[in-house]
């Protein structure tokens, strides 16, 4: 019989797999001239058709931004999808929040349309590097405060700024959004074993209007860090 934690991994993992599949759907259908509102509708329909029974983040399944709006950071309470259209060469951030039976998926990526600017490809590489740095240094004993401080320093060292409107870099996965514990300064709670948490730096060059985001869910088991 599976343990409660193993079952929890399976339930959340199913939603995270759905989020990954939905992001591949986004890669396939996002095209120049497409309205962001249409893209959001298509992605949310895909998730509902493939196993989600709703969206845990303020009822928003796909948090979508393009172009200069990729540097915008705000609460889902205030989010309205822009009616703007994707350009021939464009940058797009998508954050997905499917849920089924209380189990969340939480997954974000930055996609490039057409011929990407060198600045954009550098931003994507910086996001990958930040996740590598995090994985190399975090332990179950690391506090959320320590993780926040280390990774904000890494962001600065790479020549970027943290765009998050609250300054955090992720959160735990809970049954209720209001119960989330954040990767933020001052949070002395250790990450610990068996706690699912996201790492989702939202970054930009200080002098640029373009932002980048990459989010995965992580957890410790037996002292080893895993990606859900």
Q: Are 119 and 202 in contact (CB under 8 A)?
A: no
- Beta strands 62-66 and 90-96: pairing type? antiparallel
CA–CA distance, 126 with 114 (Å, rounded to integer): 20
Tens of pLDDT, residue by residue over 37-66, are 999 999 999 999 999 999 999 999 999 999
Residue with tokens 């989020």: 19
Q: Domain span at residue 173?
A: 4-227
Tell me the two tokens of residue 151: 């990774």
CA–CA distance, 179 with 227 (Å, rounded to integer): 22
Say what percent of the chain tops pLDDT 90: 95
> What was the pLDDT predicted at 1?
38
Residue with tokens 């350009």: 87
Tell me the two tokens of residue 101: 């039976």
- CATH number of the domain that residue 191 is part of: 3.90.230.10
Q: Are 128 and 116 in contact (CB under 8 A)?
A: no
Is pLDDT above 90 for 228?
yes
**Which residues have C-beta within 8 Å of that of residue 76, sequence separation ≥ 6?**
57, 58, 60, 63
Is pLDDT above 50 for 226?
yes
Tens of pLDDT, residue by residue over 64-117, are 999 999 999 999 999 999 999 999 999 999 999 999 999 999 999 999 999 999
CA–CA distance, 172 with 182 (Å, rounded to integer): 7
Number of domains into which the chain is organized: 1
CA–CA distance, 168 with 100 (Å, rounded to integer): 26
Is pLDDT above 90 for 2?
no
Within 10 angstroms of residue 176's Cβ, the number of other Cβ atoms is 8
The pTM for the full model equals: 0.96
Is pLDDT above 90 for 5?
no
Q: How confident is the model at residue 3 (pLDDT cuts 50, 70, 90)?
A: low
Rounded to an integer, the average pLDDT of 190-217 is 97
CA–CA distance, 74 with 174 (Å, rounded to integer): 21
């Amino acid at each position: 019989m599976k343990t409660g934690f193993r079952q929890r991994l399976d339930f959340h993992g199913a939603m995270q797999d759905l989020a990954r599949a939905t992001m591949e759907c986004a890669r396939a259908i996002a095209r120049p001239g497409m309205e962001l509102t249409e893209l959001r509708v298509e992605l949310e329909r895909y998730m509902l058709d493939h196993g989600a029974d709703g969206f845990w983040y303020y009822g928003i399944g796909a948090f979508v931004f393009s172009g200069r709006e990729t540097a915008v950071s705000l609460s889902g309470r205030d989010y309205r999808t822009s009616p703007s259209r994707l350009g021939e060469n464009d940058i797009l951030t998508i954050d997905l929040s499917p849920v089924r039976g209380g189990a969340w998926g939480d997954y974000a990526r930055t996609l490039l349309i057409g011929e990407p600017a060198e600045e954009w490809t550098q931003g994507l590489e910086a996001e990958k590097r930040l996740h590598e740095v995090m994985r190399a240094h975090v332990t179950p004993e690391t506090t959320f405060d320590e993780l926040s401080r280390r990774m904000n320093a890494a962001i600065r060292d790479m020549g970027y700024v943290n765009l998050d409107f609250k300054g955090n870099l992720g959160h735990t996965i809970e049954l209720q959004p209001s119960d989330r514990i954040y990767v933020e300064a001052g949070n002395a709670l250790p990450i610990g074993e068996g706690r699912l948490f996201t790492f989702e730096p939202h970054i930009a060059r200080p002098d640029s209007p373009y932002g980048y985001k990459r989010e995965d869910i992580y957890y410790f088991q037996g002292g080893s860090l895993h990606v859900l």
